[in-house]
Each structure stands twice: as C-alpha cells, then as structure tokens.
Amino acid sequence: MEDNPARDRRSRPHGPREPPTITPAVEKLQSRVQEILSMLTPEELHKFRVILKTVDEEPRVSDLKLELEGRSASGLACLLVKHYYLRIAPRVVTKVLERLCRADVLLHWKSYPAGDGAVIPRKILKRSFDCVEGELDCYDLSCRRRAFLMCVQKNRPGAHRDVQLMEDWLGQCRFESTLCLDPDRMELLEKLTSFRDELNEIKAEISCCLVTLMSHGKKGWITMKDGDEVSLEDVFEMFNNKNCPALHEKPKIFIIQACRGEKRDSGVETDDEPMDSDDVSEKRRLPTFSDYFIIYPTQPGS
C-alpha cells in the first residue's frame, strides 16, 4: 500500500506544519489579532509573549520564533495565525488575554463575528470523523465560573477539612464560590434559589455552574443537620433549561458527597504492596465499584 502524505501528517499532530495558505479569512483574522495586540501597552505585549509560551496548545511557539518574528504587534499577529491556523489561533488569543487580565480587550476580541456568523470563540461543533489533531467539541469557559458549596458538619468528622480542600480546589479552577454550612431544609432551598436567580441575572457572563452537596443521605435524598431531607431531583430541576436559562448549553456539574443507602462496601483486596500499618498482612483494598463513568442519553423514566 502506498503511503498517504495527508494521513501521515494527521498521525503526527505535534510535528512540523505547512504554512497556511494566505486566504481572505487568514488575512482577516491576522488583521483582527493585530488590532487587539495594538491595544496593549509594551509591557502587556511582553507579558502576552511570556504567557503564550505556556499556553496548553500544541505545538507551542518556541522562544526563537517569538524573538525573531513576534517582537512587534504585527509580527506577533502574523506568527499566531501562521503557527496555530484559523481554528486554534482564536482560542489561543482568548486564553492569553484571560490570563493577562485585560477584560476590556478580551470583551472586544470576543465581539468579533467569525466568518460563519458565530462569535469568537465558541464551541465548534464537529462530527467525530471530522476531528483532526486532537480537536473535539468543547465548552467555552472564558467567562465567569460559579460554584455553590454546601456542607453539613454535624456528626461528620473531617467535614471541616473537606470544605477547606473544596474551597482550595475551586479557587485553583477559578470558580467564584458561595458557601453554605449546616443549613436546615428551608435555608438550603432558599440559598440555592438565590444562587440560581443570580446566575439568571448575569446570564451573558456565565460559563458554567458547579453545585457540591456534602452531608449524610440515602438514595435520591440528602439529609440536613436537623434530620430533614431534601430531594436531589428538586435540586437538579432548579438548574434545568426551563428554570435556569442562563445555563443553556453550558455545563452544570453536581458533586454529591453522601451515602445512597445503608449497605457497607467491604471492598476488594488487591495484589498491590501492603499498606503502611502495624499489620504487615493487611492488603490494600479498593471499593467494589470504582473508576466507573456511566453516561445515559435520557433522564430516568424517559
């Protein structure tokens, strides 16, 4: 079978790339990038180049290329478009501007209409067989990320530490979080409703929503500090497309740290090295079910 050069280029996504053909779309994008870069001060342009070297898009721009071709706004715009192409270059510019903390420039950049009438950047819908070089459907997370964190600490040793760890993690992931500790049933529902209503008020500024509920519970329910229970289905329903239009086509993540029944899982012994303990015969154990990712296309009952 003869080698197929096109197939060979696809199989090595991080290898050398051919320069893009200079089309009207390429020229237009380069002009837009240059206009955006011209809005930055010399110090900000320098910082832009520094951040660009760390952006998680392959292949990364080398120090040598930045030194030779990217010292001016026009040269850097040409380098970005030539290096990353039409599909990836807008995403790279967005990522750098987010870290540059120039909200006005970022907003101006995102207001540009793309060639198909979309707004830069938006998720690009593709069929699986159209995806090349590792590109898949993705959500635009460049706007605000909001999180609601509830924890019942009563009769739950270690709960305080769980809250600290979650707050640290949410901060690392750039979530603005709302904390709710030891609520009763009505307080939780009121605070969740208020949180949801705030999202609807700032609809255009929201990228995603994460709700974490940590307490005792049983299947389909979570228990408050006074023993009252809240239906998880009621919580999920509060953020559906009817009740929370701000989250249309945006990820809604729910983390439920609670029991789902009264059975205890004794786990399964593994062949790994024994755990550090006084009893050298004690083996490492795993939960009976772990590392499962189960996805259904429909809700229960439909």
Residues designated catalytic: 216, 259
And the tokens for 94? 């967005």
Residues in the chain: 302
Residue 15: predicted pLDDT: 45
Q: What is the amino acid identity at position 213?
A: L
Residue 30: predicted pLDDT: 85
CB neighbour burial string for 56-73, b if at least 16 within 10 angstroms, e if fewer: eeeeebeeeebeebbeeb
Lowest mean pLDDT among 79-88, 108-117, 257-266, 279-288: 108-117
Residue 62: predicted pLDDT: 81
The helices-and-strands tally (H runs, E runs) of the chain is 9, 9
Q: Is the pTM of this model over 0.85?
A: no
Q: What is the amino acid identity at position 179?
A: L
Residue 128: predicted pLDDT: 45
Q: 28 versus 4: which is more confidently predicted?
A: 28
Contact (CB, 8 A) for 148 and 178: yes
Give the number of other CB atoms < 10 A from CB of residue 48. 23
Q: Is 270 exposed, middle or buried (0-12, 13-18, 19+ CB in 10 A)?
A: exposed
Contact (CB, 8 A) for 76 and 70: yes
pLDDT of 261 strictly over 60: yes
Q: How many Å apart are CA 252 and CA 269, to the nearest integer?
A: 36
Residue 27: predicted pLDDT: 83
Q: 270 versus 10: which is more confidently predicted?
A: 270
Q: 132 versus 53: which is more confidently predicted?
A: 53
Query: Which residue(s) pair with 295 in the sheet?
Result: none
DSSP assigned state of 81? H
Residue 1: predicted pLDDT: 45
And the tokens for 283? 């083996």
Q: 133 versus 297: which is more confidently predicted?
A: 297
Percentage of the residues of the chain whose pLDDT score is greater than 70 = 79
Tens of pLDDT along 119-171? 344 444 444 444 445 444 688 888 899 999 999 998 899 999 999 999 999 99
The set of residues, in sequence order, having a beta carbon less than 8 Å from that of 88 and lying 6+ positions away, is 57, 135
Q: How many Å apart are CA 215 and CA 51, to the nearest integer?
A: 41
